[in-house]
Amino acid sequence: MTAAAVALDRKDLSKIKAWLPKYGVYLAIVLLVVYNIFFTPYFLTWSNLRIQLIQVAPIVIVALGMALVIGTEGIDLSVGSVMALAAALIPLYLGYGVVAAIVVSLLAGVAVGLINGVLVAKVGLQPIVATLALFVGGRGLAVVISGGQLKDIHDPNFIRLGSGDLFGIPILVWIAAALVLVVAFVVRRTVFGRRLLAIGGNRPATELAGLPVKRVLITVYVLCSVLASIAGLLSVARIQSSDASAVGLLIELSAITAVVVGGTPLTGGRVRVLGTVAGALLMQLVIATMIKHNLPPSTTEIAQAVIILIAVYVARERKSR
């Protein structure tokens, strides 16, 4: 092989390595969909697609908030507990109307986000340490509020949020899609979004430039918790019951996985909103495919771990260049 051919091969390889972090998740989805079309019975039926979209919607919503936090080089482990808090508060306030119950749940998310944001931005705690406290304590508080009991939801207006359709598409999916558009607009088209990315890219430089770093960080954690609250109340509306010990359990891991697989680096400075959605869809497809082919849960977990390792390695390779 000539030197020119070797140089060309290296150039092609570098192009592939540069392409994978941006578009690899989409290629993986296409390959998985093609596989399911040929080898999974009834995969293309609307009932199956509807189930997959409904199941992935709460993960997408939580992952959007997680992507914002990771964009600042942070992490939020409390999102599952925030969902549990929302789930615990919904039955208590539905008697005052659907709007009142939703507002109270969202305010709980704001409160948790403020605590996390203040601990990170003003106290100076590491994000993983600051949010770990509410990861543990938040769910405990939710269980106390609910009395440790599963409570059924009977309000038809509230249930419609999780079970109703609009133009043949679940309302839950419409809400998730709308939030994707909002978050994408915030990241790409607003001053706040540019400041968020600047903080993740180089926080000391943004502080020296006089940007309101602490205010932006607090706002990011509030937004993340509010999105988790929305996911929590929609999950309750979907299953028509509130179980604070189960709602949102370990969803923080699913959200982080979706963000990382979608191409957002854990080192901050970049947020790939559509990639995050694609990451959530990919992981949902992996799980659904293995379930439909009667593979044990342990195999699914191993596959998820392999996908995460590949995504982190690809991101590392890109950064090293």
- At 205-258, the pLDDT tens digits run 888 888 899 999 999 999 999 999 999 999 999 998 888 888 888 889 889 989
Q: Judge whether residue 15 has pLDDT over 80.
A: no
Query: What is the average per-residue pLDDT within 254-273?
Result: 88
What pLDDT is attached to residue 61? 96
The mean-pLDDT minimum among 56-70, 128-142, 226-240 falls in 128-142
Report residue 182's pLDDT band, with 50, 70 and 90 as the boundaries: very high
**How much of the chain exceeds pLDDT 90, in percent?**
46
For residue range 273-288, list pLDDT tens digits in order.
Answer: 999 999 999 988 988 8
Report residue 6's pLDDT band, with 50, 70 and 90 as the boundaries: very low
Query: What is the average per-residue pLDDT within 296-311?
Result: 77
| Cα-to-chain-centroid distance, residue 63 | 1
Q: Judge whether residue 16 has pLDDT over 70.
A: no
**CB-CB neighbours of 287 under 10 Å:** 20
Q: Quote the DSSP letter at residue 96.
A: G
The residue among 67 and 248 whose pLDDT is bigger is 67
How far is residue 200's CA from residue 195's CA, in Å, rounded to a whole number?
9
Residue where the block lists tokens 């929609």: 234
SS3 305: helix
The HSE-up count of residue 147 (CA atoms within 13 Å, CB side) is 5
Q: Judge whether residue 23 has pLDDT over 60.
A: yes
Partners of 170 in the beta sheet?
165
Q: Judge whether residue 17 has pLDDT over 90.
A: no
Q: Judge whether residue 82 has pLDDT over 90.
A: yes
How far is residue 166's CA from residue 311's CA, in Å, rounded to a whole number?
35
How far is residue 83's CA from residue 295's CA, in Å, rounded to a whole number?
29
Q: Judge whether residue 261 has pLDDT over 50.
A: yes
pTM for the whole structure: 0.91
